[in-house]
A = this chain, B = another copy of it.
């Protein structure tokens, strides 16, 4: 049985496999299709088991597990956040994830998720902005031009038609690199010397910085009426990007309130401060943007259902003959109750092979 069904094998998508997959589909098309999965899962929000992510905090960072299930599939992501990692040539955020069959508990996919997380975060931001940003917005400021910035740009271009970027980073070389990476993809790009300059004329302001502290990337006077703020960088306790006064002037939309109140910009506000849930807007039971002067804020922290959408999308994209390795992950004795016998038979085979 193990020979024919290969119950021990789980497909694994390596970093190289993932890059091949993204490039073969094309970054913009990948993001567009992923947006559809994210949106579909937000619309059926109530069918998911939801829990705040399980975080293990240490001096220099955090390691988190983010599980969820829709009753048919179960997914989780392992993700770390270590702002000082870049000093040792490592990524601030790395991740991998697993999708499993709820009926038998067997994993059906193991995949890198460092690249995939960047893509799903951008896709989720774009889905939120589709419902919240002013109609026809084409100019976006991106404050913080690190690893997530280009993905945000592509997702907003793919889903909303944003084609004018105003970039700012405290490190000018980050802005230069971001601009260079994007220059051949049809964007008009302004490299700015301050956050104040970057937000001039922008209908959408994306903040995506990495410092693990309470910063004021945007101060109150920088935010005019009608703006949509896509606040991506503030995503753990003690890490925020916006001045509190901005929050008080905005209509705030969040993923999963119990998690966002701990990790998002709204950790600066009282626990019962009113916020709207993005899924209700996506499902059509609540209104997103209601007026041209309203300031909308998507207080993004990243939620398990978004990883679930991404895992589901990658699983659907895997064809039988390409872009994954077979991982011998699950013990699969011929007789399920005979795990020890499997070990003994392995020894017998090994001995035979030597003899």
Contacts and interface: CB of A to CB of B under 8 A. Distances in A.
A86 B1 contact: no
Contact of A147 (B5, B89, B338, B347): B338
A54 B82 contact: no
A340 B153 CA distance: 11
Contacts of A58: 69, 71, 102-103
B19 A329 contact: no
A94 B341 CA distance: 16
A86 B337 contact: yes
A285 B65 CA distance: 34
Tell me whether chain A's interface is mostly helix, strand or loop, or mixed: mixed
Interface in A294-341: 327-333, 335-341
A173 to B, nearest CB: 9
A346 B16 contact: yes
A110 to B, nearest CB: 8
B88 A67 contact: no
Interface stretch (A39-47, A111-119, A126-134, A216-224): A111-119
A342 B19 contact: yes
B90 A7 contact: yes
Contact of A329 (B14, B146, B328): B14
Contact of A91 (B76, B151, B174, B339): B339
A191 to B, nearest CB: 16
Contacts of A335: 177
B332 A15 contact: yes
Contacts of A27: 343
Given A1-B89, A23-B346, A105-B63, A340 B15 contact: no
B94 A343 contact: no
Contact of A69 (B16, B56, B60, B114): B56
A181 interface: yes
B65 A82 contact: no
Contact of A80 (B20, B49, B106, B181): B106
B65 A115 contact: no
A5 B350 CA distance: 34
B105 A82 contact: yes
Nearest to A336: B86
A194 interface: no
Interface string A96-113: 101010111111000010
Contacts of A151: 339-340
15 contacts: A1-B89, A8-B15, A12-B327, A14-B327, A16-B328, A19-B343, A19-B347, A23-B343, A54-B67, A56-B69, A63-B102, A63-B105, A91-B339, A118-B339, A149-B340
Interface of A: 1-2, 5, 7-8, 12, 14-16, 19-20, 22-23, 27, 49, 51, 54, 56, 58, 60-63, 65, 67, 69, 71, 74, 76, 78, 80-82, 85-86, 88-92, 94, 96, 98, 100, 102-107, 112, 114-115, 118, 146-151, 174, 177, 181, 327-333, 335-344, 346-347, 350
